[in-house]
Chain A
Amino acid sequence: MPAAALPGRATASSNPDRIGLSGWGNYPKVSTELLAPRTPAGARDHLLGRSGVVARGAGRAYGDAAIGTHTTISTRGLNRMRSFDAASAELTVEAGVTIADILAAFEPRGFFLKVVPGTKFVTVGGAIAADLHGKNHHRDGGFGTIVESFRLALPGGEILSCSRAENAALFMATLGGMGLTGMILDATLRLLPIETAWLRQDTRVAGNLEAAIDQLESSASATYSVAWIDCLARGAALGRSLVYLAEHATRRDQELLGPELAPFPSPRMSRLSVPELFPGWLLNRASMRAFNELYFRRGAAQQGEQRLVHWDPYFFPLDAIADWNRIYGRRGFVQYQCVIPQAHARRVLADILDRVSRRGDASFLAVLKQLGDGGGPMSFPLRGYTLTMDLPVSDTLFAFLDELDALVVDAGGRLYLAKDARQSRATFESGYPGLAALRDIRQQTGATTRLVSHLSARLGI
């Protein structure tokens, strides 16, 4: 029996030592002090008198965005909901509440979030700080568009209410501001009424990248659209994809397409009713090629047929596999996500995909999405196409990614800070002309030297 194995052992309160912390990509792992306040007021108090500090939500940013150079303040204890007004659909929650929490509580009552990312395990604070986007960005904009207001604790301890009407510049700079304008304590979001828990999904096959982009372009009126690219396909089939288009199913849609289904099935039922997209046992490199082939054929077989898919596997396929980030092993991985402006997208994305496919160790799937105009000055999206893929860290990876960066910069594109762990300052500065606005705000609020993440130190924000 280990020494501390029984409850109530009054060990001397162990000094909150510096620990090694990483993002979802397990790279880089760096040393920081980790604080875990239990209340918004406690979180604000931790900011006082500290430098080199940044907030951390669920730790789902892939790189070094949510690790303070000296101190990291976890918002996981800020996990209480405050109030909900059914008439206005306005929900106020503390910053550490996750999208999963919100959907668990409100989906059964007929509400969804208009903007959700690829995982439901992110916090609201993190969603705002990254101004994350969903599969409908080209139509509906980023997470910021559903944020009515939030309260921000500044490094000096002052707490400001921010909205489009109040402290508007600070509000906008905080969208995509990666926690560098202050610490978000709570936020008011506007929920989306839905009639059912189902999506009406339409699958299209695209034989190559050109066709995939054509499909996305011609279906711009679809609410949700995304292309899953088979990265193992080469040559003429380079970029072969399944394009998924979807709408929230109305009650009528559901009665037509799935009369046997409940409009809001219990979570258990929803898991049973739709096969998981990615069973965990398939996630090893040896079986990837076979899996891709199977996956592609299954999708192709569904072409032209409308079917109902529950929101959980539709939006969050990887959430079904706990800790999927571990498949890349101890050295971790980088999720490379760039956006290329519309005009250059076809040429540059083809070039990137070609290089990645020839490299061979890349992710077996890549995701291609359309983006619209960005929200805040530091928001990632710009009108064009965004490509996302996972690459395991290796000795040659970073030099390779520098090559890709050069293509992105050349095309006037940029990299997503929530995914970034390694881009250069030059790449960053050329991609984010809104940086000046963020720097101004940081000067004004005293954040420049106080709120410093490993990401902001690396990129000179």
Chain B
Amino acid sequence: MTGTKSILVIGGSSDIGHATALRYAREGWRVTLAARDIEAAQRNADDIRTRSGVETTVQALDVLQTAQLAGFVAGLSVLPDTVVCVVGELGDQLRAQTDPELATTIMRTNFEAPSLLLEQFAQRFEARGSGTIVGVSSVAGDRGRASNYYYGAAKAGFSQFLSGLRNRLALAGKVRVVTVKPGFVRTRMTAHMKLPAPLTVDPDRVADDIYLADVTRPRDVIYVARRFRLVMTIICALPEAIFKRMRI
């Protein structure tokens, strides 16, 4: 019964987090939003509750405080059926090249913290014998580029973490891991960028695809803008000797 299921969205103040939680709420799932910006998360929670009529709660969480992640998961009143991690930060690549602190934050936010947190859920889901872990990674992790290699490298790490976790849990049993590579999404993070329309999607579309891959038609790795799978396949196939001279 979906009516008794619950979802926890890590990064619940974000646009994709909001859209994803709302998508599940519309199917009757109870929602918890975890975020550092508790005010923004509460605004999203109010919206979800008002639109869906479903109970929605908010939990404070700063994923960069990695020492507290185990305690956060242990302290949850209900272990969710699905956990979705949309935590991520694009960061300023140029600045990161000269600011090691920023570079570290980008790498920790996109790779280290989400991985450590999801490992906590993996263990508890495994013990329970059920659950879905959804990690929102990025096509930027498919190949390193000059314009965003801290972000891209961290997302690459996160994608590989999810891949390995999926492998481990698939061998063990019933817990599923879904890797989501949205491509361009019209959100706060990309608000300043000019995005190519054929490769760009709305947060609602990401949310629909996550729900589909989790519940309706189970999948392991999804590209939300489908064309991106082809685009990235081509980009990944380019010989490094050529790729290193391209500006993409």
From 88 to 141 in chain B, residues with beta carbon under 8 angstroms from any chain A beta carbon are: 90-94, 138-140
CB distance from B211 to the nearest CB of A (A): 17
B46 touching A5, Cβ below 8 Å: no
On chain A, the residues within 8 Å of B47 by CB distance are 80-82
From 436 to 452 in chain A, residues with beta carbon under 8 angstroms from any chain B beta carbon are: none
Which of the segments A6-14, A65-73, A221-229, A396-404 contacts the partner chain? A6-14
Cα-based distance from A421 to B221 in the complex (angstroms): 50
Name which residue of chain A comes closest to B248, CB basis.
A1
Cα-based distance from A10 to B145 in the complex (angstroms): 11
Confirm or deny: A326 has a beta carbon within 8 angstroms of a beta carbon on chain B: no
B192 touching A11, Cβ below 8 Å: yes
From 9 to 26 in chain B, residues with beta carbon under 8 angstroms from any chain A beta carbon are: none
Q: Which of B50, B139, B190, B196 lies at the interface centre, i.e. has the most chain A CB atoms within 10 A of its CB?
A: B50
On chain B, the residues within 8 Å of A80 by CB distance are 43-44, 46-47
B140 touching A10, Cβ below 8 Å: no
Confirm or deny: B80 has a beta carbon within 8 angstroms of a beta carbon on chain A: no
CB distance from A107 to the nearest CB of B (A): 12
On chain A, the residues within 8 Å of B90 by CB distance are 8, 10
Cα-based distance from A38 to B190 in the complex (angstroms): 13
CB distance from B22 to the nearest CB of A (A): 10
On chain A, the residues within 8 Å of B192 by CB distance are 11, 13-14
From 64 to 96 in chain A, residues with beta carbon under 8 angstroms from any chain B beta carbon are: 80-84, 91-93
B50 touching A91, Cβ below 8 Å: yes
Cα-based distance from A1 to B184 in the complex (angstroms): 15
Cα-based distance from A1 to B199 in the complex (angstroms): 12
Confirm or deny: B218 has a beta carbon within 8 angstroms of a beta carbon on chain A: no
Cα-based distance from A92 to B51 in the complex (angstroms): 11
How many residues of chain B are within 8 Å of chain A by beta carbon? 40
A6 touching B145, Cβ below 8 Å: yes
Name which residue of chain A comes closest to B143, CB basis.
A6
Cα-based distance from A1 to B147 in the complex (angstroms): 14
Q: Beyond A10-B93, A80-B44, A84-B50, is A3–B151 a contact (Cβ under 8 Å)?
A: no
A11 touching B193, Cβ below 8 Å: yes
Q: Which of A8, A10, A105 lies at the interface centre, i.e. has the most chain B CB atoms within 10 A of its CB?
A: A8
Q: Beyond A13-B192, A36-B191, A38-B188, is A7–B138 a contact (Cβ under 8 Å)?
A: yes
B50 touching A8, Cβ below 8 Å: no
From 224 to 257 in chain A, residues with beta carbon under 8 angstroms from any chain B beta carbon are: none
A2 touching B196, Cβ below 8 Å: yes
A10 touching B94, Cβ below 8 Å: yes
B247 touching A3, Cβ below 8 Å: yes
Confirm or deny: A331 has a beta carbon within 8 angstroms of a beta carbon on chain B: no
B46 touching A82, Cβ below 8 Å: yes
Confirm or deny: B57 has a beta carbon within 8 angstroms of a beta carbon on chain A: no
Confirm or deny: A39 has a beta carbon within 8 angstroms of a beta carbon on chain B: yes
B194 touching A4, Cβ below 8 Å: yes
Confirm or deny: B157 has a beta carbon within 8 angstroms of a beta carbon on chain A: no
B199 touching A9, Cβ below 8 Å: no
CB distance from A99 to the nearest CB of B (A): 14
Cα-based distance from A1 to B194 in the complex (angstroms): 14
Name which residue of chain A comes closest to B191, CB basis.
A36
Confirm or deny: B66 has a beta carbon within 8 angstroms of a beta carbon on chain A: no
Name which residue of chain B comes closest to A40, CB basis.
B43
From 137 to 155 in chain B, residues with beta carbon under 8 angstroms from any chain A beta carbon are: 138-140, 145, 147-148, 151-152
B193 touching A4, Cβ below 8 Å: yes
On chain A, the residues within 8 Å of B199 by CB distance are 5
B151 touching A5, Cβ below 8 Å: no
Q: Mark A23-53, 1 if CB is under 8 A from B, else 0.
A: 0000000000000101100000000000000
Q: Which of B51, B151, B184, B248 lies at the interface centre, i.e. has the most chain A CB atoms within 10 A of its CB?
A: B51
Q: Which of B193, B195, B246 lies at the interface centre, i.e. has the most chain A CB atoms within 10 A of its CB?
A: B193
On chain A, the residues within 8 Å of B93 by CB distance are 10
A6 touching B194, Cβ below 8 Å: no
Q: Which of A7, A9, A83 lies at the interface centre, i.e. has the most chain B CB atoms within 10 A of its CB?
A: A7
Name which residue of chain A comes closest to B26, CB basis.
A105
B52 touching A7, Cβ below 8 Å: no
Give the contacting residue for B148; candidates A9, A81, A91; CB below 8 A: A9
Cα-based distance from A221 to B174 in the complex (angstroms): 63
Q: Beyond A14-B194, A80-B47, is A7–B248 a contact (Cβ under 8 Å)?
A: no
On chain B, the residues within 8 Å of A109 by CB distance are 53
Q: Which of A6, A9, A36 lies at the interface centre, i.e. has the most chain B CB atoms within 10 A of its CB?
A: A6
B193 touching A9, Cβ below 8 Å: yes
Give the contacting residue for A8; candidates B52, B151, B235, B246; CB below 8 A: B151
Name which residue of chain B comes closest to A93, CB basis.
B50
Cα-based distance from A84 to B50 in the complex (angstroms): 6
CB distance from B162 to the nearest CB of A (A): 17
Cα-based distance from A360 to B140 in the complex (angstroms): 56
Cα-based distance from A438 to B43 in the complex (angstroms): 33
On chain B, the residues within 8 Å of A81 by CB distance are 46-47, 50-51
Q: Mark B41-80, 1 if CB is under 8 A from A, else 0.
A: 0011011011111000000000000000000000000000
By a beta-carbon cutoff of 8 Å, the part of chain B in contact with chain A is 40, 43-44, 46-47, 49-53, 90-94, 138-140, 145, 147-148, 151-152, 182-184, 188, 190-196, 199, 231, 235, 246-248
Known: A4-B193, A6-B139. 19 other contacts (CB 8 A): A1-B248, A2-B196, A3-B247, A7-B139, A7-B182, A8-B138, A8-B140, A8-B147, A8-B148, A9-B147, A10-B93, A10-B148, A38-B188, A80-B47, A81-B47, A81-B51, A82-B47, A83-B50, A101-B51
24 residue pairs A–B, Cβ–Cβ below 8 Å: A1-B248, A3-B248, A4-B196, A6-B139, A6-B145, A6-B148, A6-B235, A7-B140, A8-B140, A8-B151, A9-B148, A9-B193, A10-B91, A10-B94, A10-B147, A14-B194, A38-B188, A39-B40, A39-B43, A82-B47, A82-B50, A91-B50, A101-B51, A105-B51
| Ranked 6 nearest A-B pairs via Cβ | A8-B148, A81-B50, A80-B47, A8-B140, A10-B93, A9-B147
